[in-house]
Structure 1
Amino acid sequence: MTARQRWTSARSLRFRVTALVLLVVALALVVIGVAVDLSLDAQLRRDQQSRLDDRAARAGLLVASGTTGAALVDAVDGQGIRALLVDASGRRVVGPTDGPDELGPPGRPPGPGDGPPRRATRDLTRTLGVPDGTRLVLTVERGENEVVLARLRVVMIGVGAIGLGVVAVALLAVVRVALRPLDDMTGLANDIAAGDRGRRLRPERTDTELGRTAAAFDGMLDALETAQVRAEDAAEEARRSEARTRRFLSDAAHELRTPVTGVQTLAESLVRHPDADLERRERIATTLVRETRRAGALVADMLELARIEDGAPLDRRPVDLAELAAAEAERTRLLAPGLTVQVEGPPTRVLGDPGRIAQILANLLENARRHGPADGTVRLEVSSEGARGVLDVVDDGPGIPPGDRERVFDRLVRLDDARTRDAGGAGLGLPIARALARAHGGDLRVVEPGDADGGARLRLTLPLRQ
């Protein structure tokens, strides 16, 4: 590891937090030390002044009682107070020999010939006049305070250094424990990046900063996983939709190829044999019209389905589902005289487009007619279920196998591939019916037939009028 890398590593969050706290503690210790030093110095000064005042009062009493000379000096000297007896010119008469020889007359400022300031000028001083013409000078040396303060400073510096060391060690341990969730987040992120997507921090407490951070981290991972699942589902649905579109286009091309080929062949036959007998020409023309209609119906159904899926507007209004079922049943009876169509159930008002609902019923009845016997029975059972109107179309045909009950709603799907296209249709009736039902907010599906049902049961649900 290079020096720069080591420096960068040292400047980690743990190091920065520890250094910052130590800096704050050191500043606090300095402020406290300075405050203690100043306070103690002021207190010692007050004590010295108090002792000096007491000693001056005692000296005054002694002078009043007639004590003078060396006896006076000996009586008040000691215990940090120095006594000095000087004459009128300021020269020492009686007193300690380690002090200055002269102090000068009282009140005279130092002159040019006095030399540097004497040490006594920095001391606390009291002067008392004596009847014999001398003066008693009482002083307190500040060196006494300086010694005490110097010792105190040494003690405070030593204790502060030891305290900072102890605080640093304690901080390293405490910060390591406090920041452990961040290490857990780092490890979790690395594990997730390696492929373990299901891991979470799941903090025990979420009322702390790190707890809230860990909970937010878990929430972010859940949101990302949910978004990823949705994206994968959307991509899968897009692939399925693309596959369905390709299959639809392929089937549509296949379905259209037959009538278009037939139209082309018939048209060429008319062109090649213009002198054919009238009966043959009529048969060719009739077949040509039929193939053209088939192709046109297929194209119309495909366009209709596209418009529905694109959100074609609906003329929604309250309508009686049973009444619409009865009208479509009557129309089917006219188209298939041998088929019995029964309508059962009370009036049920739903909200929808009457024309589109009638188209759904027509497609369902056409599907039942194609797959049931010509003299069979089709029942339309109207009811309600919660906030939805229900209409079941039940026939007595062969039924729909369970595996094909969703497949019948795919486009261009015919379960019986062997039957003719004329008999089976193009396979767009049920997809159009389901698309219309879902456009109304309902649905169309194949349900399990009852014990008495002989064929298929298709259930249409539509929202009731509120």
Structure 2
Amino acid sequence: MSTGRRWTAARSLRARVTALVLAVVALALVVIGVAVDLTLEAQLRRDQQSRLDDRAARAGLLVAGGTRGAALVDAVDGQGIDAVLLDAGGRRVAGSDGDGPRGGPPGGRGRPDRPDRPGDLARVVTVPDGTRLVLTTDPRENDDVLARLRVVMVGAGAAGLAVVAVALLGGVRVALRPLDTMASLARDIAAGDRGRRLRPERTDTELGRTAAAFDAMLDELESAQARAEEAADEARRSEARTRRFLSDAAHELRTPITGVQTLAESLVRHPDGDLERRERLATTLVRETQRAGALVADMLELARIEDGAPLDRREVDLAALAAAEADRVALLAPALTVRAEGPSVPVDADPGRIAQILANLLENARRHSPPEGTVRITVSRDGPLAVLEVTDEGPGIPPADRERVFDRLVRLDDARTRDAGGAGLGLPIARALARAHGGDLRVVDAPTGARLRLTLPTA
């Protein structure tokens, strides 16, 4: 939404709120005015009736006192009351003729005691001499009062609406100022200032709750963006690792595949050659083929582990597994001394996978230890964790390489000969299996040689 449209929308909201409130106030004023008009009209009519009743009572007292004729009329006429004395035939004997300033009923428009205009009020007092005293009042005097009152109410109402309109314009502008702030903040955020927030002082009002929700939305959007950027970075890192892995795997496989191709071509070119040479070529060909197959198998195994291959978990004794692997390595390398020590520590793990971890760790220690060296396996408990450490007497692992050795296809400089070193997948597979069990594998400080520590949750 453009700035002009936002301003038009805000201005329209102010206009709608102001018009609605003014309409409600005007309706209230109309209702109040009608109520006041009707109430005042009824009150004025009651006042006229009360004055007529008082004047009729006074006339009765005067008649009882012997007052007659014009004197009786003069005594009760005036102050809004018209008095007319009529004879038995209805002819005027004394009193107003209806054309005077008092506005009495005009002659010839009917009997005075029966006014022909709705709303005229009359009282009749009978005089013993056969005449009748008719007292009347004209409701037009009420109309004058009501007309003046209506003019006053209309003027006051119009002035009040004007004051209310001015007050509303200022009040609505102040009340809707947070909306302008939100619009300005949205523009700043769109321009790149992502750290700004409304931070309302009160969140128990509609605008306060709206501002708080706006801030929460911005926080969530920033968090989502940060997560998306982190995921993108991780995807880029994963892609880089995959490319590096494929490059290293291609490099590792190229040598045995080239050797297989060369040996196979030699066998084909010299089918009738020296039998001893042919046997050496065939033996080397089998060895290179096995080497390539082992590399491919290790790569597939690592991929399965990282994809979450299921584990056959059960309660096993870590010390017993360590002792069994120590015996196996002692048979494969009789000159190497392998010692396993420590108490029985049960763990909830897949015994085949734990044996694979130990085999990789001991193979790594065997390759880097002197031919008649010693490899120690120590099992202990550290709170909720079972700890197994494998320590050798080799050259050790520099601190800068202690994480790099767990990368795929990484071999340190002292183990890069293909006869002595592996493909560089043993330790990555061991760490992946340890983390699949909820544990970890890392290199720790040792007085001499290298020490790898495996941690697993206890059963």
State the TM bucket, normalised to the shorter chain: over 0.9
- Aligned position for 2:21: 21
What secondary structure does 2:192 align onto? coil
- Aligned position for 1:53: 53
Deviations 1:64-97 (A, max 9, x none): 3332211111111112111112233433321223
Q: Does the 8 Å contact 1:86/1:102 carry over to 2?
A: no
The change in CA–CA distance for 1:91 and 1:460 in structure 2 (over 3 A counts) is farther
| Map 1:162-173 → 2, pairs under 5 A | 162-173=159-170
The change in CA–CA distance for 1:105 and 1:171 in structure 2 (over 3 A counts) is closer
2:348 is aligned with 1:351 = yes
CA distance in 1, matches of 2:256, 2:10: 82
The change in CA–CA distance for 1:31 and 1:106 in structure 2 (over 3 A counts) is closer
Q: Does the 8 Å contact 1:364/1:433 carry over to 2?
A: yes
Q: Does the 8 Å contact 1:100/1:118 carry over to 2?
A: no
2:27 is aligned with 1:44 = no
Q: Does the 8 Å contact 2:113/2:124 carry over to 1?
A: no
Q: Does the 8 Å contact 2:339/2:374 carry over to 1?
A: yes
**1:216 positional shift:** 1.1
- Aligned position for 1:403: 400
The change in CA–CA distance for 1:7 and 1:40 in structure 2 (over 3 A counts) is farther
Give 1:286's match in structure 2, choosing from 283, 305, 308: 283
Unaligned regions of 5+ residues in structure 1, if any?
A: 109-116
The change in CA–CA distance for 1:6 and 1:223 in structure 2 (over 3 A counts) is closer
Q: Does the 8 Å contact 2:123/2:134 carry over to 1?
A: yes
Give 2:178's match in structure 1, choosing from 177, 181, 190: 181
Deviations 1:205-224 (A, max 9, x none): 11111111111111111111
- Aligned position for 1:100: 106
What secondary structure does 1:241 align onto? helix
- Give the TM-score normalised by structure 2: 0.93
Q: Does the 8 Å contact 2:257/2:289 carry over to 1?
A: yes
CA distance in 2, matches of 1:354, 1:301: 19
What secondary structure does 1:423 align onto? coil
**1:295 positional shift:** 0.8
Q: Does the 8 Å contact 1:90/1:102 carry over to 2?
A: no
- Aligned position for 1:326: 323
- Aligned position for 1:444: 441
Q: Does the 8 Å contact 2:348/2:458 carry over to 1?
A: yes
Deviations 1:6-59 (A, max 9, x none): 995685222222221111111111111111111111111111111111111111
Given residue 178 of structure 1, which amino acid in structure 2 is its aligned partner? A
The change in CA–CA distance for 1:320 and 1:172 in structure 2 (over 3 A counts) is same
Greater shift after overlay, 59-68 or 234-243? 59-68
Greater shift after overlay, 127-136 or 313-322? 127-136
CA distance in 2, matches of 1:123, 1:314: 108
| Map 1:217-236 → 2, pairs under 5 A | 217-236=214-233
CA distance in 1, matches of 2:179, 2:9: 16
Q: Does the 8 Å contact 2:395/2:449 carry over to 1?
A: yes
- Aligned position for 2:91: 91
CA distance in 1, matches of 2:172, 2:384: 61
Deviations 1:332-366 (A, max 9, x none): 11112222222232211111100000001111111
2:254 is aligned with 1:257 = yes
The change in CA–CA distance for 1:295 and 1:418 in structure 2 (over 3 A counts) is same
What secondary structure does 1:145 align onto? helix
Give 2:451's match in structure 1, choosing from 454, 457, 460: 457
- Aligned position for 2:33: 33
Between the two proteins, what is the percent identity of the paired residues? 80
Give 1:388's match in structure 2, choosing from 373, 385, 390: 385
- Give the TM-score normalised by structure 1: 0.91
**1:288 positional shift:** 0.8
Greater shift after overlay, 416-425 or 366-375? 416-425
Q: Does the 8 Å contact 1:89/1:105 carry over to 2?
A: no
What secondary structure does 2:375 align onto? strand
Greater shift after overlay, 376-385 or 266-275? 376-385
**1:5 positional shift:** 8.1
**1:384 positional shift:** 2.2
CA distance in 2, matches of 1:256, 1:29: 95
CA distance in 2, matches of 1:368, 1:125: 131
| Map 1:39-438 → 2, pairs under 5 A | 39-97=39-97, 98=99, 99-102=105-108, 104-105=110-111, 118-119=116-117, 122-416=119-413, 419-438=416-435
- RMSD over aligned CA atoms reads 2.2
Q: How many residues align?
A: 450
Unaligned regions of 5+ residues in structure 2, if any?
A: 100-104
Q: Does the 8 Å contact 1:371/1:398 carry over to 2?
A: yes
**1:418 positional shift:** 7.2
CA distance in 1, matches of 2:7, 2:240: 58
Greater shift after overlay, 258-267 or 12-21? 12-21
The change in CA–CA distance for 1:35 and 1:417 in structure 2 (over 3 A counts) is farther
The change in CA–CA distance for 1:224 and 1:248 in structure 2 (over 3 A counts) is same
Deviations 1:177-218 (A, max 9, x none): 222211111111111111111111111111111111111111
